[in-house]
Structure 1
Amino acid sequence: MATILVTGASRGLGLELVKQLLDLPAATIDKVFAVTRSQPTPGLQELVNSSPDRLTNVMIEDLSDLSRATQASKDIEAVLQGRGLDILVNNAGTAVECPSGICSMTNQELLDVMNANVGSAHAVTTAFIPLLRKGGHRKVVNMSSALGSITRYDTYQWATTYSYKMSKAAMNMLTVQYALEFDKEDFTFIALSPGWIKTDLGGQNADIDLEVGGKAIRDIVLRSDRTDNGKFLCIRVPGWEGHKGMNQYDGLEMPW
Structure 2
Amino acid sequence: MASYLITGSSRGLGLALVSRLASLPAAQVGKVIATARQDNSPQLTEIVEASSGRVELVKMDVTNKSSIQEVAKLVEGKLQGKGLDYLINNAGLADYAPAGLEGMDNLNELFHTNVTSVHNVTQGFLPLLRKGEKKVVINISTTLGSFAKAEVYRLSPTPAYKISKAALNMLTIQYAQQYEADGFTFVAISPGWLRTDLGSSRADLPVETGAEKVVDIVQQIGPHQNGKFLNIHVPGWENAPGNNQYDGEEVGW
Which bracket does the TM-score occupy, shorter chain normalised?
A: over 0.9
2:175 and 2:217 map into 1 onto residues whose CA distance is: 19
Cα RMSD (Å) of the superposition? 0.9
Q: Structure 2, unaligned stretches of length 5 or more?
A: none
Aligned match of 1:38 = 38
Aligned match of 1:97 = 96
Alignment of 1:127-138 (within 5 A): 127-138=124-135
Aligned match of 1:16 = 16
Preserved CA contact (<8 Å) 2:39 2:58? no
1:35 and 1:118 map into 2 onto residues whose CA distance is: 17
Q: Determine if the alignment matches structure 1 residue 208 to structure 2 residue 208.
A: no
Aligned match of 2:239 = 242
Ranges of 4+ aligned residues in structure 1 off by more than 4 Å: none
Counterpart pick for 1:115 among 96, 112, 115: 112
1:67 and 1:211 map into 2 onto residues whose CA distance is: 32
Aligned match of 1:71 = 70
Aligned match of 1:175 = 172
Deviation at 1:221, TM superposition (A): 1.4
Deviation at 1:244, TM superposition (A): 2.9
Aligned match of 2:83 = 84
Aligned residues: 253
Task: Give the aligned residue type for 2:10.
Answer: S
Q: Structure 1, unaligned stretches of length 5 or more?
A: none
Preserved CA contact (<8 Å) 2:4 2:86? yes
Deviation at 1:250, TM superposition (A): 1.0
Q: Determine if the alignment matches structure 1 residue 124 to structure 2 residue 121.
A: yes
Preserved CA contact (<8 Å) 1:69 1:123? yes
Task: Give the aligned residue type for 1:82.
Answer: G
Preserved CA contact (<8 Å) 1:40 1:57? no
1:76-107 CA deviation, whole Å, 9 max, x = no partner? 0101111000000000001111111211112x
Q: Determine if the alignment matches structure 1 residue 140 to structure 2 residue 137.
A: yes
TM-score of the pair, normalised by structure 2: 0.98
Aligned match of 1:54 = 54
Aligned match of 1:155 = 152
Aligned match of 1:28 = 28
Preserved CA contact (<8 Å) 1:64 1:122? no
Aligned match of 1:187 = 184
2:88 and 2:77 map into 1 onto residues whose CA distance is: 20
Helix, strand or coil at the partner of 2:45:
helix
Deviation at 1:3, TM superposition (A): 0.1
Preserved CA contact (<8 Å) 1:196 1:207? yes
TM-score of the pair, normalised by structure 1: 0.97
